[in-house]
């Protein structure tokens, strides 16, 4: 597929159109989201790393991905969320996109009910209905991809996320997107994966992270499988890494996360 991002945006818009026809109305979802405004857990404050602190981790829950196929045949999002919590994750990312990643808002609800950590709704957000759904179902943060939105949408959606008591995670893929990302509030994430080709770009985040202001929460995303690569972005000032595939492919997801964070090394000393 030559342009995955364009394709999945079109698919999400069509699915949302169908949801509008057969699901709860947008006004109902908004009212539900507003009623939960004060229930959200602190995503940004938990991820902020003070000098000398260990890097934080957002551990991802997903069954499959377009680039890797099915990651866990016997997929149990709640068991994964609990394992991540026990291994030292600071937040949980839940893939809710239903077609390409086999995700669900029900997975997000189940994980948040079972684990006392902030939960990120990870999807391709292209309509405000998705933000109302996120708030209504208890998400604490919402992913907003700069390349998937025009500047007006990005500003409006980030403001709506904040208005509903959640935090935006604003995802950057290229350095040229930084200026636009800085016009809205929230954490800044740099994705090593090119969402147009799905190719992984090793060390891409390492080249972009130093360009981000230190007063913002900075997150390196995708492709982290070894402690040394996590250590490098930690040294560059990243507050957190978002990791998923390496953990999901490991026989012991909790052990794999502890190894990436360096807590295994500390126990062996």
> What is the helix (H) or strand (E) element at residue 233, kind and residue range?
helix 227-235
Catalytic residue among 46, 133, 171, 234: 171
Question: Token match 């934080």: residue?
Answer: 56
Sign of CA dihedral 197, 126, 249, 201: positive
Catalytic residue among 93, 222, 245, 259: 222
What are 59's strand-pairing partners? 92, 243
Q: Is 97 a catalytic residue?
A: no
Catalytic residue among 93, 191, 234, 245: 191
Q: Yes or no: say if 59 and 259 are a contact pair by the CB < 8 Å rule.
A: no
Residues 6+ apart with CB under 8 A from 263: 54, 87, 88
Q: Is 267 a catalytic residue?
A: no
| Maximum distance among all Cα pairs of the chain, rounded to whole angstroms | 59
Q: Is 62 a catalytic residue?
A: yes
Q: How far apart are CA 48 and CA 128, in angstroms?
A: 27
Question: Quick one: which of 245, 242, 246 has its CA closest to 89?
Answer: 242
Q: Is 102 a catalytic residue?
A: no
Rg (CA), the chain: 17
> What is the helix (H) or strand (E) element at residue 133, kind and residue range?
helix 128-137
Q: How far apart are CA 58 and CA 45, in angstroms?
A: 13
Q: How far apart are CA 90 and CA 51, in angstroms?
A: 17
Q: Is 221 a catalytic residue?
A: yes
Q: Is 191 a catalytic residue?
A: yes
Catalytic residue among 221, 234, 245, 259: 221
Q: Is 60 a catalytic residue?
A: yes
Catalytic residue among 62, 133, 177, 259: 62
Catalytic residue among 46, 64, 97, 122: 122
Active site residues: 60, 62, 122, 171, 191, 221-222
């Amino acid at each position: 597929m030559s342009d995955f991002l364009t394709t999945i945006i079109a698919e999400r818009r069509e699915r949302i159109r169908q949801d509008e026809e057969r699901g709860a109305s947008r006004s109902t979802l908004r009212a539900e989201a507003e009623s939960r405004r004060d229930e959200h857990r602190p995503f940004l404050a938990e991820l902020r790393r003070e000098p000398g602190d260990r890097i934080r981790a957002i551990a991802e829950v997903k069954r499959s991905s377009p680039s890797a196929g099915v990651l866990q045949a016997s997929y149990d999002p709640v068991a994964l969320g609990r394992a991540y919590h026990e291994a030292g994750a600071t937040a949980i990312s839940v893939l809710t996109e239903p077609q390409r990643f086999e995700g669900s808002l029900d997975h997000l609800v189940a994980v948040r009910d079972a684990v006392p950590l902030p939960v990120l709704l990870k999807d391709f957000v292209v309509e405000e209905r998705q933000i109302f759904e996120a708030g209504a179902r208890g998400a604490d943060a919402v992913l907003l991809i700069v390349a998937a939105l025009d500047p007006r949408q990005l500003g409006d959606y980030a403001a709506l996320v904040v208005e509903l008591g959640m935090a935006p995670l604003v995802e950057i893929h290229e350095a040229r997107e930084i200026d636009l990302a800085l016009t809205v509030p929230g954490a800044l994430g740099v994705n090593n994966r090119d969402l147009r080709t799905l190719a992984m770009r090793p060390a891409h985040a390492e080249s972009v992270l130093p360009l981000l202001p230190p007063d913002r929460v900075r997150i390196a995303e995708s492709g982290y499988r070894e402690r040394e690569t996590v250590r490098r972005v930690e040294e560059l000032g990243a507050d957190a890494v978002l990791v998923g595939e390496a953990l999901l492919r490991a026989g012991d997801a909790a052990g794999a996360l502890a190894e990436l964070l360096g807590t295994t090394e500390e126990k062996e000393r």
